[in-house]
Amino acid sequence: MSKEDPKHGRWILPLVIAGLVGLTYSFVNALPPAEVPLGTTTIPATTTTLASETTTTTLPADIEAFLLLLDGYEATAVQIQTSIDETNDAWETNAISFSETLDRFIAAQVEAQTLSDSVEATNPPEVYAEAWPDAITAAAVLPPGVDDVIAGLRASDDGTLRREAVAEYASLTQAFIDTLNVVRNATQGAVVADA
């Protein structure tokens, strides 16, 4: 009689499981780090201290994501205006050619159109429904504002039209930022306080 175990299948299942665990471990370690998509970043809760009482303010996730989106829109608008101002200054000092200036203004127009389209396509949380149309309107005038800058560059005057268009674009950008601030102020209705 043999003392060997006649049931060889008892050892196969543990070997298969160990192999699967090993392959899973090596596969997961080979993956690149995950990218966090826009809008899923969490904002730490704000804590306000009054005397000996502490109140923590928490925003719903959709509100936090929307506020981050507004910050992105504002940063983009400021970047476009800065680009226009820097390009205009470089043109004024003859640091760049006409074609390079025109190319930069056209690139700014494309960015302004993309910003305007993004703002229009945004579906804000319900708390912002009343204020959001004003932001769409303010963003919609940005691309034509850059068109005026381009027309001023191409004009045969002494540069006055271009300078006025650049100054007007700065005003349009500020008006857009102001409407974003009005939208942000509507957040007070969405705050949930935990004591």
- Per CATH, which fold does 46-194 belong to? Four Helix Bundle (Hemerythrin (Met), subunit A) (1.20.120)
3-state secondary structure 134-182: HHHHHHHCHHHHHHHHHHHHHCCCCCHHHHHHHHHHHHHHHHHHHHHHH
Collect all residues with Cβ–Cβ distance below 8 Å to 189 and sequence separation of at least 6: 127
- The pTM of the whole model exceeds 0.85: no
Q: Does the pLDDT at position 11 exceed 90?
A: no
Antiparallel, parallel or unpaired: β 53-58 and 46-50: antiparallel
Domain residues of the chain, as ranges?
46-194
Per the DSSP assignment, residues forming a β-bridge with 99 are: none
Q: Which helix (H) or strand (E) holds 29?
A: helix 9-30
Q: What is the pLDDT of residues 110-169, one digit of tens each?
A: 999 999 999 999 999 999 989 999 999 999 999 999 999 999 999 999 999 999 999 999
The answer to whether residues 146 and 154 touch, using CB atoms and an 8 Å cutoff, is no
